[in-house]
Amino acid sequence: GFSIQNIPQLPPDPLFGLKARYTADTRTNKVDLGIGAYRDQDGKPWVLPSVKLAEKAIHEDPAYNHEYLPIAGLQQFTSAAAKVILGSDSKALKDDKVVSVQTLSGTGALHVAALFIKRFYKGSGSVYISSPTWANHIQVFETQGLKIESYPYWNYATKELDLKGFLGAINSAPEGSVFLLHACAHNPTGLDPTRSQWTEILGAIKKKNHLALFDSAYQGFASGSLENDAFAVRSAIDSFDGSLPILICQSFAKNVGMYGERAGVFHYVSATKDAALQSAVLSQLQKITRCELSNPPAYGAKIVSKILNTPELYAQWERDLVTMSSRIKEMRQTLRSELESLGTPGTWDHITTQQGMFSFTGLSKPQVDSLEKDHGVYLVGSGRASMAGFNLGNVKAVAKAIDQVVR
C-alpha cells in the first residue's frame, strides 16, 4: 500500500559515534583526539578574543536586530571574505570577476558547489577527490548524482605526498573533470604540497582543462598566516586567469572558531570578465539558497563581518590565528620528541612536517582500537589525530600509550 516502509537503517556517523563513546567513557584521564575543533591548553573550547570583541560591538550597536539577510547573504561579509582568500590586492577582484554567496559554512559551500556543477558544468561528469580525504566530501557530491573518482595523494609507505600518482591521475582523467583540492592543511593527512609541487599540480590541471574546486577550511589556522595558507588558491587564479574559472568553498568554522554558527562563502571566479554570465551565475546561486534556506543565518556572518571590516579586530584575529597555530605546532614538537625519547618503533618526523588540525599518525586500526580500549585515547580508525586535543597535561601520557600499542 501507500506507506513508508523498508527504510534501511544507516550506521552512525563514524566521527559523531566516536564522540558519543568518548562522552560515555568514565575514565578521568580520557583524551579526545577525534573531532577537528580547537582546544586551548586546558582542553577547553576557545572563544577567540577577536570574536568576543566583535560580539560586544554588535550587541552595543543600537541598530542591532534579527532581521533576515538578503538571499545571497550579508554583502559586507561575503565581499570581505573574498578579500581574505583572494588577497586585498587581488586582480580578480579588481577586474570584478568574482561572484560570492553566503553558505552554511564550508559544508554548505560544498553542497552549493555540487549542485552548481551538476546543473551547469558541462565537463566529464566526474569529481576527483584525494585518497584519502575528508569523509563528507564523498557523500556531499554523490548525493547530487555526481560520479566520484579518487586521485592518489598519501603514500602510506613513505608518509609523503604521492606526487607522481597525483599528476598521473590529473593527466589520465578525461579532459574537463573536476578536481577537488584542499587549499591548505589537508584533512585527514595534515600533509600539503610544497609551493613547487603546487605549481606542477596546477600546471597539469590547466593543461587538461580541468575545473579546480578549492575547499578552504583552514586558512590561517595551518601556518598562522592568511597569506601563506592562500598560496595554492591565489596561484591557481593567477595561472588560470583568462582560461579557466575556479570555484572556492570557504569556511570560517576553524579559523574564527565559529564552528556551530555556520559562516561560509561560495565564490565563483570567472575566467574572463563576463557581466551577463556572472549575473546569471549569481541568479542561479540565489535560487539554490532561496529554495533550500530562503536566506542564510545571520549571527555568525555578522561576527565575522565585524572582524573583517574593523582594522583593530582584524589585527586581533591575526594574533588569534598565531595563538592557535603555534600551540598546535608546539604540541606536534612535544609529541614527536616524547615518542623519540621513548624509542617508540617507527619514524615520527611526519608529525612535525604535517600542519593544521590533523596528523595522520600512521597508527593501524588495531592500534587505534587498543588506544581507545586500553588507554582511553580516542581517534578515528584511519589513525588521524586531532592535534588540538593535545595539551601539556596529556601529551606525555598519550605518547606512552602510543608507545605501548606500537610495540
Q: Which residues are catalytic?
A: 134, 215, 254
The closest alpha carbon to 218, from 97, 369, 38, belongs to 38
Question: For residues 103 and 334, which CB has a smaller minimum distance to ligand PMP in the complex?
Answer: 103
By beta-carbon proximity to ligand PMP, the closer residue of 130 and 270 is 130
Please select the residue that binds ligand PMP; options are 34, 73, 106, 389, rule is CB under 6 A. 106
Q: Under rule CB under 6 A, how many of the chain's residues touch ligand PMP?
A: 13
- CA–CA distance, 137 with 110 (Å, rounded to integer): 8
**Grid coordinates representing 124?**
566529464
Question: Could you give the string, one character per residue 13-52, with x where binding to ligand PMP holds by CB under 6 A and - elsewhere?
Answer: -----------------------x----------------
Query: Cell numbers 556517523 label which residue?
Result: 13
| All cell numbers assigned to 7 | 527504510
What is d(CA 97, CA 90) in angstroms, rounded to the nearest whole number? Answer: 10
| Distance separating alpha carbons of residues 378 and 369, to the nearest angstrom | 8
> What letter represents residue 178's amino acid?
V
Stretch that binds ligand PMP, among 6-14, 100-108, 172-180, 322-330 (CB under 6 A): 100-108
Site residues for ligand PMP, 130-159, by CB under 6 A, read: 134
Conformation bin of residue 6: beta by default, left when phi > 0, alpha when psi is -120 to 50: left
Q: How far apart are CA 90 and CA 82, in angstroms?
A: 9
Of 135, 137, 131, nearest to 151 by C-alpha is: 131
Please give the Cα distance from 238 to 196 (Å, whole number). 15
Among the listed ranges 38-46, 63-71, 105-113, 150-158, the one in contact with ligand PMP (CB under 6 A) is: 105-113
Q: Between 132 and 376, whose beta carbon lies closer to ligand PMP?
A: 132
Where in 320-359 is the site for ligand PMP (CB under 6 A)? Answer: none
Considering only residues 235 through 254, tell me which ones interact with ligand PMP, judged by CB under 6 A.
251, 253
Among 50, 78, 100, 107, binds ligand PMP (CB under 6 A): 107
Give residues 203-242 in contact with ligand PMP (rule: CB under 6 A): 215, 217
Name the site residues for ligand PMP (rule: CB under 6 A): 36, 105-107, 134, 182, 187, 215, 217, 251, 253, 259, 264
